[in-house]
Structure 1
């Protein structure tokens, strides 16, 4: 029986996954639950239709082509971990084994639930391809630690001193104070305050509401964040780009202010602030000339790149 090893980062903006070969991939963390009699729209690997327990879901940007969608940021990610992981796993064969490496902001609270959902045998469909997956092992680690590990592997982390990881996601943001050996000395996790919070603030600005003559959807604003256009939908006349800094500056200063306050006793020993996560690109230009700050070229994939243990990548069967 074929076996695969996969790293999955079930972010609130997108589901990132990687098997150690090629580049990581991402599926937008939004889905539409298809009624029993409804035919699905065209699907592909980044917009998959997943069937689990007799229910079908269309993931990805394609979900916006239906009347209603559910964003992952609206729910606790651990509650739907099995569905989200299987969305990232194209069946290797009608029956196969799988080893999963993932993370969570609060593994101390949700690891048991994640293991309970994932471990075992699961029958599912992926773009009309039915399969049985035997998930034999699952590792869950604190979100942000793998990003530090990846950054260290590409020499962004100094050999000496402490590192503060600031992971800015779609729904949440968190920070980790990590020593030279990779031990987490202190942490903070904010359940709100990620890019969705920024998008929600922008959604109440009358300049955008007047441009579309409606109440803006924060999820659509987040799409504009991700593609870099800062357009609402595909309308260049409905853009917040010219006044984004009015919201962006206080948003990031609020995050960094809390980080500095929490780690104040350790700041003299800090040699790097690593900014990472699915929404960190929003402040890339603002931190590029600040001493001690660093960011990779693809920060949204830092965590998933660091999740696979060294040595496992060569054993991976392509997913």
Structure 2
């Protein structure tokens, strides 16, 4: 709760109403990949949260994931055991969504990326939620503004978090009319108070920013691997030891300043460097999917995880991410150039 105490939590509003820990309630719909981490962030800042699912096994798995994430924070010395217990006590598992929606001041939609599912959820929110309740969608690609009923249009926006959401600071924010600009500003202020780094998109574009950049990187990566230029493992080593650390300091656009814009212009115009063709179904992915090699969840993808459980792999990933985020401190979210 320290972040709230240092950012004037008493002055935070959402939808023009006070939004404060201990008084305002949050309903997180969906306990899959993203919901538990989002619920954790609100709970550790003092909010009462209901984590909702429509199937008991999925709800149990989501709560187990949340509890494990808190245990890992203690192990990583990011918080102490008492704080972790207090955080967990503020999250109520809820089978079904109607009860939580009916008393929420903020509804966070984190259900699967399926238009029909989201459309049905928004219809229920419009019917059950209080008239003042704001709705954030965690969609990563979809135009949810076209899926929601008119009754939600003035209080719906996109707040797209990144996995794992309790570690990575970025949240992409998209708000469009008839929702007022003030709602976007309130959302940005709230996310900052939660310790997040919100970035505002001036208009909706499918995939938003980071997923579009990842598509471009993936297109080149798949093409080079399939063309025999480099192996999968060597490509990952190249990125981890060059692009990744430099981007953490400079991002993309400031890196051009350090290279020199005249040199960057010349490099982009080099006729000998031909961009990879657009290929929406790379053989590299097709073959593995056909064999059932889907990644960490199936035990094998581009790498063989040798029977290690998904939870074990996630814990190792998250410990390393906590180490990285400690080193970044506040610089990563500072818009001022270095």
Range into which the TM-score falls when normalised by the shorter chain = under 0.3
What's the TM-score once normalised by structure 2's chain length?
Answer: 0.26
Bigger Rg over Cα: 2
What's the TM-score once normalised by structure 1's chain length?
Answer: 0.27
Pick the structure with more strand per residue: 1
